[in-house]
A and B are shown apart, each in its own frame.
Chain A
Amino acid sequence: MAMLEVSDIHTFYGNIEALKGISLEVEEGEVVTLIGSNGAGKSTTLRSISGLSPPREGSIRFKGQEIGETPPQDIVRLGISQSPEGRKCFQRMTVRENLDLGAYMRKDDYENDMTRVFDLFPRLKEREKQKAGTMSGGEQQMLAIGRALMAQPELLLLDEPSMGLAPILVERIYETVAEINKQGTTILLVEQNANYALEVSSRGYVLETGAVALTDASSKLRENPDVQAAYLGGG
Chain B
Amino acid sequence: MEAAPVNVTKSAPLAAVGSFLGKYGLILVLLVMPVAFGIDDLRTDGNLTALGQNLVAGLSNGAIWALVAVGYTLVYGIIELINFAHGDVFMIGSFVAFGLYGVFGLTVATGALGLAVGLFAVLLVTMFATGSLNVLIERVGYRPLRGAPKLAPLITAVGFSFLLQNVGLLWLGGSQAGVPNLIDQAKVVFTVAGVDITRGDILALAATAPLVYLATTFIRKSRLDKAMRATAQDPEAARLMGINVDTTISLTFLLGGVLAGAAGLIYALYQTTVWFFQGFTAGLIAFTAAVMGGIGNLKGAVLGGLIIGCIQQISDNRVGQEWTPVIVFAYLILIMVFKPSGLLGEETREAG
Contacts and interface: CB of A to CB of B under 8 A. Distances in A.
Interface in A65-96: 71-74, 76-77, 81-82, 84, 88-93
Interface string B332-352: 000000000000001011011
Contacts of A213: none
B236 A88 contact: yes
Interface residues of B, number: 22
Contact of A72 (B226, B233, B239, B348): B239
**Chain B at the A interface: SS class:** helix
Contacts, number: 74
Contact of A88 (B237, B243, B351): B237
Interface in B218-254: 223, 226-227, 229-230, 233-234, 236-245
A133 interface: yes
Interface residues of A, number: 28
Contacts of B226: 100-101, 104
A151 interface: yes
A52 B236 contact: yes
Contacts of A92: 229, 233, 346, 348-349, 351-352
Interface string A104-135: 11000000000000000000000000010100
B78 to A, nearest CB: 13
Contacts of A73: 239, 241-245
A104 B243 contact: yes
Given A90-B233, A90-B234, A91-B233, A52 B239 contact: yes
A102 interface: yes
B242 A77 contact: yes
Contact of A102 (B233, B241, B346): B241
A133 B352 contact: yes
Contacts of A84: 236-237, 240
Given A88-B236, A90-B233, A100-B226, A105 B352 contact: no
Nearest to B237: A88
Given A92-B346, A92-B351, A104 B227 contact: yes
A93 B239 CA distance: 16
A59 to B, nearest CB: 21
Contact of B240 (A76, A91, A131, A133): A76
Interface string A139-151: 0000000011001
A45 interface: no
Contacts of B241: 73, 76, 101-102, 104-105, 147, 151
A100 B346 CA distance: 20
Most chain A Cβ neighbours within 10 Å, of B233, B234, B236, B241: B241
Interface in A174-215: none
A88 B234 CA distance: 7
A93 B349 CA distance: 11
Given A93-B229, A104-B241, 8 more contacts: A74-B242, A76-B240, A76-B241, A84-B237, A90-B230, A101-B230, A131-B348, A133-B351
18 contacts: A51-B239, A52-B239, A71-B244, A73-B239, A73-B243, A73-B245, A76-B240, A84-B237, A88-B234, A90-B230, A90-B352, A101-B230, A104-B223, A104-B227, A105-B241, A105-B242, A148-B240, A151-B242
Rank and list the top 3 A-B pairs by shortest CB-CB distance, nearest first.
A105-B242, A91-B352, A88-B237
